[in-house]
Structure 1
Amino acid sequence: MLEIKDLHVHYGGIHALRGISLNIEEGKIISLVGANGAGKSTTLKAIMSLIQKTSGSVINDGKDITNEKTKNIVKGGVILTPEGRRVFPDLTVDENIALGAYTRKDKVEIAKDRNWVFELFPRLEERKWQAAGTLSGGEQQMLAVARSLMGRPKLLMMDEPSLGLAPLIVKSIFSIIKEINKAGVNVLLIEQNAKAALEISDYGYVMETGVITISGTGKELLGNDQVRKAYLGE
């Protein structure tokens, strides 16, 4: 599906990504875990061409998108739900959702997808005429995901979807991620909540200071002593 090969990124004098390589296979949930500043968000931004890459390549479905423009990457089915939700606070829930389909022209299919995201997030349908800025944090996170799904992603990349949310809402968000994956959307998940992420992941990568240090199935990483001590509080 998507392959990153030997990716390097510099911020001024800082070598933020130091030759990382990873694969997102078809039908899978993949997690990228690590501490703050490890380079996780930088990885997603580099994939989306939101920041410049120093070297390396990004291949999507066999096509080299390393230097592709962000809008074309989105049209190619790779979509990022950013950290911090980034909803449009003065627009309604429904208007935010509609903006997620801005690259599409297929009105009948857009209407079907709108119905689907309201099935996934019934709370959003109840509040569809409400200004997005008046929603709770959990509802805004649901809206950010729903808006991304309206772009009909083949790969949905999610940056810290559980950040700042109550435990009950976190459980709901992770349940919905599994539902999205079952519907045929590949997922690349960045999370500081390593336990919750790895529990739903087919495969995971651990990142430290711009380098992938450990990789394995979600189950393998949950049982890895080094991962448990560093990220699972054990």
Structure 2
Amino acid sequence: MLSIRNLSVHYGGIHALRGISLDVPAGKIVTLIGANGAGKSTTLNSIMGLVKAGSGSVSWNGEEMLGRQTKRIVESGIVLVPEGRRVFPNLTVDENLTLGAFARHDKAAIEADREHVFKLFPRLKERHKQKAGTFSGGEQQMLAVGRALMSRPTVLMMDEPSLGLAPLFVGMIFDIIRQINAEGVTVLLVEQNAKAALDVADTGYVMETGSISFSGTGKDLLADDRVRKAYLGEG
């Protein structure tokens, strides 16, 4: 269980997170939806130690994560696929994947995981010697997910994985999210595509201006009039 309690973050005079609390149960998919600037990405970056929280708690299986170095958080099993993919454009697919396993030393298992990534994303295997900067947005997103999987995460956090992708790649990415979760990886997903996110989510949280407004199962939120009007373009 990843448990966030009363998490607050300030950017100068801006109160970006206002004491939010949420739970990410092991083996589930949890999504955060909300408008730009609601605090979704700040939540993920705070969990990873990339943004310093002013107060609150982030516990993983009972251990406090706040204050730990990002490398230590990755080693504990929590990994982020950042918004914008952030692959290393001048490095090949193989080199990007190798960097994803930077905290590991089990060479045989690393190579087995590389082959698993290639099974998930055959296009990466076809182009494993190609530089990432020559890839389309969708191909770079595959690589970003594959790189994260190379660290063998227990919790995979994804920040806007479908942003800017062609519809074909959007469907593919959400299929992969389902598959990764079916293999036992817990997923915390931030996504502007509310319908697609809630379709795959066990639980959803709606964020507004740094606060959690309400939550429910993915199915219930899809049927909620407030969500339908604000995020699904209905009503």
When the two structures are superposed, what TM-score results if normalisation uses the length of structure 2?
0.99
Q: Post-superposition shift, 1:66?
A: 1.2
Alignment partners' CA distance in 2, 1:12 and 1:172: 39
1:100: which partner in 2?
100
Partner of 1:134: 134
Instruction: Output the amino acid matched with 2:66.
Output: T
Q: Aligned letter for 1:215?
A: S
Equivalent position SS for 2:9 = strand
Aligned to 1:155: 155
Q: Spell out structure 1 runs of 4+ moving beyond 4 A.
A: none
Deviation at 1:195, TM superposition (A): 0.2
Tell me how far apart the structure 2 counterparts of residues 197 and 228 of structure 1 sit (CA, whole Å).
13
State the match for 1:165 in structure 2.
165
Matched residue type, 1:91: L
Deviation at residue 129 of structure 1 after TM alignment: 0.5
Match of 2:55 in 1: 55
Correspondence for 1:115:
115
Identity %: 67
What is the Cα deviation at residue 62 of structure 1? 1.0
Provide structure 1 residue ranges, at least 5 long, that are not aligned to the other structure.
none
Pair 1:23-2:23 in alignment: yes
- Matching residue of 1:196: 196
Once the 2 structures are TM-superposed, how far is the Cα of residue 61 of structure 1 from its aligned partner?
1.1
Q: Deviations over 1:73-119 (max 9, x none)?
A: 00000000000000000100111011100000011111111110000
Mapping for residues 179-190 of structure 1, pairs under 5 Å: 179-190=179-190
User: How far, CA to CA, are the matches of 1:111 and 1:61 in structure 2?
Assistant: 28
User: What per-residue deviation string (whole Å, max 9, x for no partner) do you get for residues 164-213 of structure 1?
Assistant: 00111100000000000011110000000000000000000000000000
Matched, 1:232 2:232: yes
Could you say which residue in structure 1 is the equivalent of 2:7? 7
Q: How many residue pairs align between the two structures?
A: 234
SS in 2 for 1:215: strand
Q: Distance in 1 between matches of 2:183 and 2:120?
A: 11
Matching residue's letter, 2:212: I
The residue type equivalent to 1:188 in the other structure is L
Write the letter of the residue equivalent to 2:174: F
The 5 A counterparts of 1:54-93 are 54-93=54-93
When the two chains are superposed, the root-mean-square deviation of aligned CA atoms in Å is 0.5
Report the AA paired with residue 6 of structure 1.
Answer: N
- For 1:158 and 1:141, how far apart are their aligned partners in 2? 11
Once the two structures are TM-superposed, the CA of residue 214 in structure 1 deviates from its matched residue by 1.1
- Cα distance in 2 for partners of 1:44, 1:27 equals 18
Name the CA distance, whole Å, in 1 between partners of 2:76 and 2:124: 27
Amino acid paired to 2:115: N
The one-letter amino acid paired with 2:10 is H
1:85 match: secondary structure: coil
Superposition deviation, residue 229 in structure 1:
0.2
TM-score, scaled to structure 1: 0.99
